[in-house]
Amino acid sequence: MTNATDFLLSVEGLTVSFDGFKAVDDLSFYVDENEIRVIIGPNGAGKTTVLDLICGRTKASGGSVKFRGKELTAMREHQIVHAGVGRKFQNPSIYDDLTVFENLEISYPRGRSVWGALAFKRDAAVRERIHEIAEMIFLADHLEQRAEYLSHGQKQWLEIGMLLIQDPQLLMLDEPVAGMSVNERVKTAELLNRIIADRSVIVIEHDMKFVEDIAHKVTVLHQGKILSEGSMERVKNDPKVVEVYLGH
């Protein structure tokens, strides 16, 4: 067993059961600094549940998740965020009633307590950072627009932007290109390639072309367990993987 402190994230023996059904079963994997890890697997394999467990949305029944030596399973959601873990949901999860600017502002990592939020001032540093991020996520011209009126792809970018502004050390993306047009998909891949510098990313994705483009390492989940792990090349040629997943 490798020394857990060498990794940014070490998941060991992670288990969760819902009414006896083990959605994630004794799962262990390790993510390095600056690594892009893609998790693939058929529907119901437990991919999203793994992200839920890491970010504290679901409580684990057993096992441990260590992020830079800190045990995440004992922390509450907002504390996990403060520790440096960002999570993007599968469906674009943004605030429809607020403008793009306000969406980004809420995600800006300052004034996160009740009194801090009351006293929060929209100063130059905040504006500058929001403009910088908006530029990056192709929404610089939409800052004053209500988020409700963005296209599906733009909403996905906005949510990625909301995570970027927090500057997390570990970014978890759940199907970031699902439902996007070809054009948007290309732009998203470009965006992801730019933002992965200086951070680790865990991505869940179905689009094999996209996975091949970005993955350093691929983990294949099946029925809550790891079926195969390694480079895309290796995983693609693993007969077990071909049988349950890629072959279809």
Partner 1 sequence: MTRSFLTGTRGELLGVGVLALLVLLVLPLSLDVFRLNLVGKYLTYAFVAVGLVLCWGSAGILSLGQGIFFGLGGYCMAMFLKLEASNPEATKIQSTPGIPDFMDWNQLTSLPWFWEPFHSLTFSLAAVVLVPSALAFVIGVAMFKRRVGGVYFAIITQAIAAILTILIVGQQGYTGGINGITDLRTLKGWDIRTDEAKLVLYFVNAALLLGCILLCLAVRRSKLGRILVALRDKEDRVRFSGYDVANFKTFVFCLAAALAGVGGAMFTLQVGFMSPSFVGIVPSIELVIYCAVGGRLSLLGAVYGTLLVNWAKTSFSESFPELWLFAMGALFIGVVMAFPNGLAGLFQTHVVPRLDRLRGRGLPPVPGPTRMAAE
Q: Would you tell me which residues interact with partner 1 (CB under 8 A)?
A: 55, 57, 76-78, 81-82, 86-87, 89, 93-99, 102-103, 105-107, 109, 111-114, 117-120, 144-146, 148, 159, 162, 166
In the complex with partner 1, the residue whose CB is nearer, 89 or 186, is 89
Please classify residue 17 by burial: count the beta carbons closer than 10 Å to its beta carbon, then call 0-12 exposed, 13-18 middle and 19+ buried: middle
Cα separation values, 92 from 85, 139, 156, 231, Å: 18, 15, 5, 29
In the complex with partner 1, the residue whose CB is nearer, 172 or 235, is 172
> At what angle are helices 152-164 and 100-107 packed, to 10 degrees?
30
Least Å from the CB of residue 153 to partner 1: 18
Cα–Cα dist 179/157, whole Å:
12
In the complex with partner 1, the residue whose CB is nearer, 1 or 114, is 114
Q: Which residues contact 26 (CB under 8 A, 6 or more apart)?
A: 13, 14, 15, 63, 225
Least Å from the CB of residue 147 to partner 1: 9
Least Å from the CB of residue 79 to partner 1: 9
Least Å from the CB of residue 81 to partner 1: 4
In the complex with partner 1, the residue whose CB is nearer, 79 or 181, is 79
Beta bridge mates, 12: 64
Least Å from the CB of residue 107 to partner 1: 5
Q: Are 206 and 217 in contact (CB under 8 A)?
A: no
Least Å from the CB of residue 111 to partner 1: 6
Q: What is the DSSP letter of 146?
A: B
Least Å from the CB of residue 161 to partner 1: 12
In the complex with partner 1, the residue whose CB is nearer, 14 or 163, is 163
How many CA within 13 A on the CB side of residue 135? 6
Residue closest to 53 by CA, chosen among 11, 4, 3: 11
Instruction: Calculate ∠ Cα 181-187-189, nearest 5°.
Output: 100
In the complex with partner 1, the residue whose CB is nearer, 199 or 217, is 199
Across 156-224, the runs of DSSP E, i.e. the strands, are: 170-174, 200-204, 217-222
In the complex with partner 1, the residue whose CB is nearer, 119 or 182, is 119
